[in-house]
Amino acid sequence: MTTVQNKLHWLAKVTVTRKATVVDPQGNTVLDALRHLRFDSAEHVRIGKYIEVSVSAADEAEARSEVAKMCETLLVNPVIEQYAFDLQQID
């Protein structure tokens, strides 16, 4: 007798940001642009990436592990970047 394993579907919302000690020229440029547009309230800008990945996995632990591996293998440069993600079931 075989067991069919039902895979569930999960959505990971990943934010990738530069580590605090790494300069962010793109963020500084956007801050300058905001100041030129008279947004005097703007104090600081940091730019990162936002990635939504949907994965199939049997449970939350497996989904979380898969997404972490994807981040560490491809999506994030661990030398200068850090990441965090929220995971939700979408079925």
Which parts of this chain interact with a second copy (CB under 8 A)?
A: 9, 13, 15-17, 27, 30, 33-34, 37, 39, 41-57, 63, 66, 69-70, 73-75
**Closer residue to a second copy, CB minimum distance, 40 or 79:** 40
Q: Which amino acid is at 51?
A: I
Beta bridge partners of 15: 50, 84
> What Å distances lie between residue 80 and 48, 59, 74, CA to CA?
12, 31, 14
To the nearest whole angstrom, how small is the minimum distance from the Cβ of residue 19 to a second copy?
A: 13
The total of other beta-carbon atoms located within 10 Å of residue 50's CB is 9
Q: Which amino acid is at 27?
A: G
To the nearest whole angstrom, how small is the minimum distance from the Cβ of residue 10 to a second copy?
A: 9
**Closer residue to a second copy, CB minimum distance, 3 or 85:** 85
To the nearest whole angstrom, how small is the minimum distance from the Cβ of residue 48 to a second copy?
A: 4
